[in-house]
Chains A and B, each alone.
Chain A
């Protein structure tokens, strides 16, 4: 039996210190140890992108990361998007709602976290750049057209100086 490791991870701004088995994936740690169920698991082998989170502001598949690898790092999940008290949706969330960028919604947190990284680095992406960014996220419901529109809408609304 492998010995547990003490890890300290900041998730959505909150510090967590836990003892975990080394083999525990970050996805399972977030979902089951911390109760952050928004990071969904679709394949557990790094293809579908549903579990995408940000580690130190960079997108990563939580199923391809061990919780111990997150020791000392900052993780952001979909739960970080919504305003904590008012519940107001983040512009990316609102854009997905307004442009009907989801159906079952299972893959959506992964798409939105990927979009967050994209728009932080490139506030005005072309359609090709959006496709390139989202190429690692599978959606079985929407056929992607409305997802593309959602990202465009989010970019438009998040541009500096855009009307709130």
Chain B
């Protein structure tokens, strides 16, 4: 289990990285970007991924930050997940994102793995894409033509694929202010603590005068990419925030789910069922969360 050979570059600046990626792309090279490498390294070891060139963003220390920009939480792409999990700022500003981060793997993984790396990897079993879909999340990327901002809904394309161009570098993740009144929860089901989830659900919603408003529910681990459970969201909109409605939302979510994945640990039917259970649990947890 040793990686196949590859060439290696570790650009010292973002500009250098973009120029390098552009040049390599022009030359037709098969390039992979490595940040923390916690997802890529096993793929290299198994020779499932065998790039000709590896571009290491590890020197882009300027992208390692977590800060508040006028109420918007901005996390540099190279900030480690553990830094996000430990950050009081993240906990205050984006409690759902903080909770999701604590669910990722184990500390050794979170220490090395970066926030940007996870989003760019777009593993369907990852908590992050689903969380991005229920928060107002934007991705900032820099390419040869400068910087652009990509809303979460346009960022995740399909299995391990984002809308980033090959010569673009994800530089930051921006979370719009999370209103203190807003409720949130994340629930996942894994075989063991720390394993990739067989299924998971992230929710945000408001409860106004006892009624559900602006309900957002997203599932992960069940399809090629994280997915909003819009049928359940619509069903719940304006309904009383009560257990029977959350259960019904779970049933609606499960029923409406297209083609869940199957694997040795969970059949498509079981995954569908889990999404329903987890959606109902997440809604219940969110509704019960003290303001």
Contact = CB atoms under 8 A, between A and B. Distances in A.
Interface in B25-51: 34, 37-38, 41-42, 44-46
Interface residues of B, number: 30
A58 B7 contact: no
Interface stretch (B102-110, B226-234, B265-273): B102-110
A68 B44 CA distance: 15
Contact of B7 (A2, A25, A52, A135): A2
Which residue among B6, B45, B193 has the maximum number of chain A CB atoms within 10 Å of its CB? Answer: B45
B105 A136 contact: yes
Contacts of A22: 5-8, 54
A45 B45 CA distance: 7
B112 A60 contact: yes
A65 B37 contact: yes
A86 to B, nearest CB: 30
A63 B45 contact: yes
A147 to B, nearest CB: 15
A65 B274 CA distance: 34
Contacts of B54: 22
B6 A23 contact: yes
B56 interface: yes
A45 B82 CA distance: 20
Contacts of B72: none
Interface string A24-47: 010010000000000000001110
Contacts of B41: 25, 45-46, 63-66
Interface string A48-87: 0100100100111101111011010000000000000000
B111 interface: yes
Contacts of A68: 8, 10, 56
A46 B44 CA distance: 12
Given A1-B5, A22-B6, A136-B109, A45 B46 contact: yes
Nearest to B6: A2
A2 B5 contact: yes
Interface string B80-123: 00100000000000000000000001111101100000000000
B291 to A, nearest CB: 26
A3 B1 CA distance: 21
A148 interface: no
B193 A46 contact: no
B38 A64 contact: yes
B153 to A, nearest CB: 31
B1 A114 contact: no
A49 to B, nearest CB: 7
Given A66-B37, A68-B56, A69-B56, A23 B108 contact: no
B111 A58 contact: yes
B194 interface: yes
Interface string B1-29: 11111111010000000000000000000
- Residue in A2, A5, A21, A71 with the greatest tally of chain B CB atoms within 10 Å: A2
B112 A64 contact: yes
What are the 8 tightest A-B residue pairs by CB atom distance, in nearest-first order? A136-B106, A22-B8, A45-B42, A23-B3, A64-B41, A58-B111, A44-B1, A2-B5
23 contacts: A2-B8, A5-B8, A22-B5, A22-B7, A23-B44, A25-B2, A44-B45, A45-B1, A45-B45, A46-B109, A49-B108, A58-B112, A59-B111, A60-B111, A61-B108, A64-B38, A64-B41, A69-B34, A132-B107, A135-B193, A136-B105, A136-B106, A136-B109
